[in-house]
Each structure stands twice: as structure tokens, then as C-alpha cells.
Amino acid sequence: MRKLLSLTMMALATSTAFAGGYRVSLQGQKQLAMGHTGVGVVNSAEVLFFNPAGAVYLKDRFSVSVGANALFARTKFQNLENNLRNSTENVGTPFSAYIAYKATDYLSVGLAVYTPYGSAVEWDKDWDGAHLVNDIDLQAIYVQPIVSVKVSEQFSVGGGPIFVTGSVNFNRNVGRSVTDEMGNKTDVTIDQSGVTAWGWSAGFMVNPTDKVRIGFNYRSEITMKARDGAATFNQVPAYLADAPTSPQDIQLGNTTFNANLPLPAELTAGFSVQLSDKWLVAFDYNRTFWNVYDALIVDFKASPTSQVPQSVNPRNYKDSSTYRVGTQFKPNEKFSFRAGAYFDESPVQAGYFAPETPRNDSVGLTGGLTYMITNNLGVDVSFLYLHFKEIDASYNHYIEDGNANVSFGGTYKNVVFSPGVGLSYRF
């Protein structure tokens, strides 16, 4: 049994939601409504996120955009062969805030604050996949100051550093059959707050004509370094709480852990065309370099009350692409209507599909509008419907009883709906 626990604990991991999760794009009400396009669009202060180089082309001295979404995510799992069924419904509240200041005709500065990773996954306690995950709760806030410089009317550059602060709470059972003397499943909660990291973003914008804008933006890889996080074991049987008698024994006592969690680099390129005074269309292509996420390694600190081996968790993600298209129709100065769509490839490869990040290829449909209350103040409304392709998939790298390829899988069905509202102000 101690050998089984040793191998089982090798599969322990903190939340992979740091690297993926539902990863719904919700970084601005106007641009979300246009299929989350924006690298070649100068619509509002939201350009600070999509392409900092475009901020210098904003017409007003001050531009402010703030907004928030309610994110409703639902995942269903079933394995008819083994008569397994479960589902999870979760709510998130990602937000964004942007302020841009045009210091001169050739220089703009700004600040962007947004939450690209803010959803949660919570399965039923001790469900059939509890040895992989019970629940995850992730919060991450990005703070990005930017500088935008107009080299000419046709070309600009922009960028700046990115500061990230976040927290994560993750719970899973330590094995499929490990219980205490009362029959309660033994589980572990891994918790860390105040995790910080730095990255950067840079882009450029080209305006070959007064009707066409071409944009390019790169966001660097960011490594979240969790240090001295808390690992708490619950319902531990007495024989696993005893002091170890050899280096190979396991002792499940509360301890701390270290882990490096990569957030991949992204490259986005695209363009917009002003078809007429009323119609604007845009297209973005995004490439996310997920290949940096080949495994998640967690080092548990040995102590007089705990002896847990290092955890190595294969993920083997692949680079993936997202294709986005959007349009805006502005019939008058009071209203602007928007719509869009995008196709998002999953980075998860066959055999690595885990229920902590039940993510497959998806199609997003978006829409929204702006109503100008005054000449300077507008209300922005958006919605996103995100449908994940149904998939029969499994995770084949769980370690148990000397076997490193224990499989857990079935059919996953996912859907996300997210309404949002924001305010835009300019003067």
C-alpha cells in the first residue's frame, strides 16, 4: 500500500488553470462584441490590451473604458461503458479597465488592468475523477503600463511591462482507493496566494491608407513561481500519518510546495478595413505557444511531519491558433452595433485530456452594442456564446500501483455563456 501511495503522489499537481482552464477571451466589451478582434482596430482605450501601438491614434486626450462580465460555464462528463456521469457549473466575474492619455500628437501613455484567467472548475466531491481533480479556483490580475509612439501617420510602435499577481486553490484525492479509518477519501488541498511575475508586450501598427489598419502584437511568456505554498492533507489514515521508517515511505502531513507555472507567449496579427462611414470589418489571427507547457513539476518540502515525493505531471501541450472575425455598424452618433465569431483550437493533445482543464476546440459567437448617453459617455454591452466540440477523450498518464499509464476518460460536453457591460468615457 505504501508503494501504491508513493506512485499515486507522484501524480499530484497544482491547478493547471494557471496555464489554460476555460481561457475565455473577455478583455473589452467593444472588441469582444466584434469577435474579440482588435489588433488592427482603434475604437477606444481597449486598444491598450489588443495593440498598445494603436493608442497614439486615439482622437481624444483622455480615453477610459471599464467593464465586467458574468461568465457561466458548464461541463458534462459521461462514460456509458462504466456508467459514470457528472457535471460542473461555475460562475466567474472577469473584468477590465483601461485608461489612455494622449500627451502629444506623437506620444500616448496608458494603463491596462485585466483578468485573463479568472474562472473556476468544481466537480462533485469524491466523484469518479476525484483522483485527478475535485475543484480549482484561480484568480489572476494583469497590470500593464504602456507607451505608444507615432513615428508617422502611417506607422506607430508601443508596448510596456506586464505585472501579474494571482492566487490558486486546488483540491484532489490522493488516490482512487485511499481512505481513512472511517471510509472518508483522503485528499489534499494546495493553496497559494500572492504569486507574482513579470512579462512584457510590444506591437506596431501600419496604416497604408486612411481606410486600412494592420496590426501586430506580441505578449511574452510569463512564469508564475509559486513558493512556499500550503499543502494540506485531509482524512489521512493512521498508517500514513506515522513517521516514515525508510526513505521510500510516504508520510502525508501538512507541508509546503514550490512550482513553476508557465503562461505561454502569444503572437497576434490582423487588420481592419473601414468599408464606409458606417461599416468596419476586422480579422485577427492569434498563435499561442503552448509547447512550453510540457509538464508541471511540484516540489514538496520534506519535514518532520511530511515526506511526499516530487510530483511530475505530463501535459505535452501543443501550439494552437485562434481565427477571429468581427464587424461594427454605426448608423448614427448614438448607436454602434457589433457582431463577430472565432474558432479556437485546443492545445490539449490526445491522451492528455484532464478534467481540470476540460477544453476542446471551440467556436465563439459574439455580439453587442454601444449607446452614447452623452457625446462623451457611452454604455457598452456584449455577449459571448462559446461552444466546445463534444469529444471522447482521456488522460492516460495517471500513476497507480506501479502502472504509469492508468487511463480516465469519457465524453465531455462544454458550453460557456458570458454577458458583459461596461462604460466608455472620453474627453
Given a cut of 90, whether residue 55 has pLDDT beyond it is yes
Tell me the whole-structure pTM to 2 decimals. 0.88
User: What mean pLDDT is predicted for residues 14-30?
Assistant: 58
User: What mean pLDDT is predicted for residues 136-159?
Assistant: 92
The pLDDT value given to residue 28: 92
Given a cut of 80, whether residue 72 has pLDDT beyond it is yes
Please state, for a pLDDT cut of 90, what percent of the chain lies above it.
Answer: 48
User: What mean pLDDT is predicted for residues 32-52?
Assistant: 96
Helix (H, G, I), strand (E, B) or coil at 147: strand
Residue in 118, 113, 152, 91 with CA at minimum distance from that of residue 28: 113
Other Cβ atoms less than 10 A from the Cβ of 276: the count is: 9
- Model pLDDT for residues 294-307, shown as the tens digit of each residue: 887 788 887 777 77
The pLDDT value given to residue 152: 94
- Model pLDDT for residues 191-221, shown as the tens digit of each residue: 888 899 999 999 999 999 999 999 999 999 9
Given a cut of 60, whether residue 98 has pLDDT beyond it is yes
The pLDDT value given to residue 21: 42
Given a cut of 90, whether residue 356 has pLDDT beyond it is no
The pLDDT value given to residue 2: 44
- Model pLDDT for residues 309-330, shown as the tens digit of each residue: 777 778 888 999 999 999 999 9
Residue in 348, 364, 425, 359 with CA at minimum distance from that of residue 390: 359
The pLDDT value given to residue 23: 60
Given a cut of 80, whether residue 150 has pLDDT beyond it is yes
Helix (H, G, I), strand (E, B) or coil at 328: strand
Distance between CA atoms of residues 364 and 341, nearest Å:
5
Query: What confidence category does residue 118 fall into, taking pLDDT thresholds of 50, 70 and 90?
Result: low
Distance between CA atoms of residues 275 and 25, nearest Å:
26
The pLDDT value given to residue 129: 87
Whose grid coordinates read 501613455?
109
Pair 179, 28: CB distance under 8 Å: no
* Contact residues for 336 (Cβ-Cβ < 8 A; gap 6+): 30, 328, 329, 330, 369, 370
- Model pLDDT for residues 259-268, shown as the tens digit of each residue: 887 888 999 9
Lowest mean pLDDT among 20-24, 86-90, 183-187: 20-24
Helix (H) or strand (E) holding 241: helix 238-241
Helix (H) or strand (E) holding 238: helix 238-241
Could you give the domains of the chain?
2-426 (2.40.160.60)
Pair 382, 371: CB distance under 8 Å: no
Residue in 219, 110, 100, 108 with CA at minimum distance from that of residue 162: 219
The pLDDT value given to residue 247: 59
Helix (H) or strand (E) holding 226: strand 222-234
Distance between CA atoms of residues 413 and 78, nearest Å:
9
The pLDDT value given to residue 259: 83
- Model pLDDT for residues 217-261, shown as the tens digit of each residue: 999 999 888 888 998 889 989 888 876 666 566 788 888 988 887
The pLDDT value given to residue 18: 30
The pLDDT value given to residue 14: 36
* CA triple 290-363-139, angle to 5 deg: 55
